[in-house]
Structure 1
Amino acid sequence: MMEIEYKSAQEIKTFQETLLKDQLAYLAIHSPYYKRLFKKYEINPSAIKTIEDLRFLPTTSKNDLQQYNDDFFCVPKSEIIDYCTTSGTLGSPVTFGLTDKDLERLAYNEMCSFEKIGVQKDDLVQLMTTIDRRFMAGLAYFLGLRKIGAGILRVGSGIPEMQWDSILKYKPKFVIAVPSFLLKLIEYAEKNNIDYRNSSVQKVLCIGESLNDVDFNQTILTKRILEKWPLELYSTYASTEMGAAFTECASRKGGHVQPDLIITEILDEEERPVADGQSGELVITNLGLEGIPLLRFKTGDIVRKHVDACACGRHTYRIGAVEGRKQHMVKYKGTTLYPPAMHDLLAGFPEIEQHLIEISSNDIGTDEIVIFIASNNRSDEFLQHIKDHFRAKLRVAPRIEWKDLEELQKIVFNPLSRKPITFLDRRD
């Protein structure tokens, strides 16, 4: 348990600003990219003394990382212990190198996350995500659990049969999984007469998909899971670039920042701070990183910052559910949409076995949406029901096309991808 989390907001801010000065001094000496940036803009890093002063520094984009990847390394390659790459969701993958100290920091990060949801030394945790393919998240979960001293079942992603074999044999209390995969586990259990409601699993740390909307109401996906399986679901949000996680406590009012690992800003289109509780792009500055620390990195994720008191007693601010990615914003028939809202709406139809959202540009340069759906029910009535639901919830109805399940799964579960591909952006 971090003592700083329970200090006043001002004490936390002062604490972070001390770490920020250290990180800036480190970048000024060791980062080829930021040394060049400071020189170009005639910036004296030692003049940046407060979090508010960050606005005087230029932001770093994903394009910068892709174009100058090697220049972000602050240590010789001989000091890199582990290499990770981003998933490439928003372009070409970027390589990150972690030193021995960075790996310890990563373990500490996830230890703090797991402690928020109640994981203790004697617990057993089943990991339903890959730990290979240069994937940082799976490695982080393993290291964090090892630091706690908990038992770990490294089953990997997918394959409900193997997941249930492990659950029934070893009886884990905790699971780390993508929420929608829990529906697959339920479906498999019902078909094979597994009493899943009375299994050992009690709590799930959910990754990759939001459990709540911007007002902290349960998403359709969350409701579908809990109607069948009364689990305790907790959301966590992280990325390779952040090197830190925002994980919910029992209050489930957003993921708490870990103040010794990261500083965040929420900015509008003109890179101005938005008011607390308003949506904007998450911009992060790493603290305490050696390999590739980032300064004012634009994540592309649209989120909200919540600073009201949390019932858990922590005074750290919280980051709400990711509402969408800036590059994935869709303007359709005058309405602004983000894929997560469409994914969650489709999750409300048990008849839909699989779906894929594809965005393209039409002849007049505006966005077009096609949703490919695999379902045993291909009636006109069901199709109209889906479209009516879209109009009622999102004000517009996209084009829908039926696809065979096998054909769709080849795209969604591409073996070259670490994550299911349920959104394709084919715009110019």
Structure 2
Amino acid sequence: MKHAPEIEFKSKEEIRSFQEKKLNELLQYLQQHSPFYQRHFQQHGVAVAKIKTLEDLVNIPVTTKDDLQQFNWDFLCVPRSEIVEFASTSGTLGKPVTVPLTDNDLHRLAYNECISFACADGTADDLYQLMLTLDRQFMAGIAYYEGIRKLGAGLVRVGPGLPAMQWETIERLKPTTLVAVPSFIVKLIEYARQNGIDPNKSSVKKAICIGEGLRTGTDSLELNVIGKRITESWDIKLYSTYASTEMQTAFTECTQGNGGHHHPELLIIEVLDERGVPVKPGQPGEVTITTLGVEAMPLLRYRTGDIAIAYTEPCACGRTTLRLGPVLGRKQQLIKLKGTTIYPPGVFELLNDMTSIRDYVVEASTGELGTDELRLHILVSEDMKDDIRQRLSVVFQSRLRVVPEIYFATPQELEKLQFGKIDRKIRKFIDNR
């Protein structure tokens, strides 16, 4: 397979040996160049020379998002003069974190997306339409752009929003693949239906889905509500992805659709419980990563806050690498509502299942008694409000045993909530606790 690295098809023993060699190189690098990890090792009595295997990693205390926010520049391992690009996190869970990249880091980022798009059946013959921003320090935008160029494929930088312009571009330039948020693809389908456009007569054959979950958290990993809604109206192949700015690496599905494939030459992955111990196979845990090959700001045992399940059996595509299922929720976004524990994606799934709901935002806050409160900001047509309120009450009571507060928003109110001051991503969940 062109662009598919050999390491992803090696035996688990060969992959382990490869990663342990890279881990030891990383530890030496951090010991020499990272002010944060020099201090971290000293404070916790970590003898770098004694960390030989992947199992030995548990002897190193984890790094958290709080560490990265509080000591951002102490993680830098190169002189500022060597930084060629500054990216940043969106700040969804607090203060944004700056992630600088060297020229080699940019090449690594391009390699990561090149092999990721190739994993998702991408070839040099494809034309990708990018429905996302390439500015505002958004790492994913530059990663997709550089990765597609390295793949040898063509690309069209349309940016987010404006269904009319997206369809005009599809008709004029005939892209084969979309890179977009799943909920926006639903809006493209709605626009097509309202304007007499048949999506199935378009040139688009597949979509790389970013920013939102596409599959259920069950072992079947079948398409979730929003995935099914897309494929019922548009005969295209969907590929789910998972990534974060801090890890500078992506997990992307192959044609089998059984979870995002791990790139072992770029990342060591652990799935940990609350105590920082690896969970049993098939159990959900917090995705914890160690970056390999990053120069400017490498991370060691960094807890992402994302809860997911790892699958270790070989894939039918021939890869033997670990696969990561959909993010079940973010650890910091856990909501305890009237004795019931839920994550936002569980709420999204129920709302996505109601086709009468045109759009929504889920807002968590702290009540007068210090408990979690949940409000749904819903956009529906005027004549559907009473019906939707009743149906939502029944569905939430039967599925989650609690009923959130329901507020019917105007399009303007919802747009203000979704973007706020962060306009590079649509916000479906706002945490005001």
Question: TM-score by structure 1 length?
Answer: 0.98
Q: Distance in 2 between matches of 1:8 and 1:194?
A: 48
Say if 2:429 is the partner of 1:426.
no
Please point out which of 212, 220, 227 is paired with 1:209: 212
**2:348 alignment partner AA:** H
SS of the residue 2:56 aligns to:
helix
Tell me the equivalent position of 1:43.
46
From 149, 153, 161, the equivalent of 1:150 is: 153
Shift of 1:378: 4.0
Match of 2:328 among 315, 323, 327: 323
CA contact (8 A) 1:378 1:402 kept: no
Report the Cα offset of residue 230 of structure 1. 1.5
1:405 aligned to 408, 411, 414, which one?
A: 411
**Is 1:138 matched with 2:113?**
no
Alpha carbon RMSD of aligned pairs, Å? 1.1
Give 1:185's match in structure 2, choosing from 179, 185, 188.
188
The yes-or-no answer on 1:372 pairing with 2:377 is: yes
Q: Distance in 2 between matches of 1:64 and 1:415?
A: 24
381, 385, 390: which one pairs with 2:391? 385
Where 2:66 maps in the other structure, the secondary structure is helix
What is the aligned counterpart of 1:292 among 268, 273, 297?
Answer: 297
Read off the aligned partner of 1:329 and give its amino acid letter: L
Distance 2:30 2:126 in 1: 40
Normalised by the length of structure 2, the TM-score is 0.97
Give the structure 1 partner of residue 203 of structure 2. 200
Q: 1:59-78 counterparts in 2 under 5 A?
A: 59-78=62-81
Spell out, residue by residue over 1:282-323, the C-alpha distance to the aligned partner (whole angstroms, 9 max, x if none).
111000110000011110000111012211111001111000
In 2, Cα distance between equivalents of 1:60 and 1:363: 34
Where does 1:3-402 land on structure 2 (aligned, <5 Å)? Answer: 3-215=6-218, 216-376=221-381, 377-402=383-408
Q: Which moved more, 1:85-94 or 1:381-390?
A: 381-390
2: CA distance between counterparts of 1:272 and 1:36?
Answer: 23
- Aligned residues, how many? 427
Task: Look up the SS of the partner of 1:310 in the other structure.
Answer: coil
Q: Is the Cα contact below 8 Å between 1:353 and 1:405 reproduced in 2?
A: no
Query: What per-residue deviation string (whole Å, max 9, x for no partner) do you get for residues 191-211 of structure 1?
Result: 221221110000000001111
Q: Deviations over 1:337-380 (max 9, x none)?
A: 01011112111122212211111122222211111111104442
Q: Percent identity of the aligned residues?
A: 51
Matched residue type, 1:213: T
Cα distance in 2, alignment partners of residues 350 and 146 from structure 1 = 37
Answer whether contact 2:87 2:137 (CA < 8 A) is retained. yes
- Aligned partners of 1:293 and 1:162: how far apart in 2? 39
- Partner SS state of residue 17, structure 1: helix
User: Per-residue CA shift, 1:227-256, capped at 9, x if unaligned?
Assistant: 111110000100011111111111111101
2-side partners of 1:379 and 1:140: how far apart?
Answer: 42
Shift of 1:41: 1.9
Separation in 2, partners of 1:91, 1:278: 28
SS of residue matched to 1:238: strand
Aligned counterparts of 1:257 and 1:106: Cα–Cα separation in 2: 14
Q: Match for 1:358: what amino acid? A: E
Structure 2 residue runs without a partner (length 5+): none
Partners of 2:387 and 2:88 lie apart in 1 by: 45
Looking at structure 1, the residues matched to 410 and 427 of structure 2 have their Cα atoms a distance apart, in angstroms, of 16
Between the aligned partners of 1:184 and 1:335, the Cα distance in structure 2 is 32
Q: Which runs of 5+ in 1 are unaligned?
A: none
Q: Which amino acid aligns with 2:238?
A: L
Q: Which amino acid aligns with 1:384?
A: Q
C-alpha separation in 1, matches of 2:134 and 2:399: 37
**Structure 2 Cα separation of the partners of residues 268 and 122 of structure 1:** 43
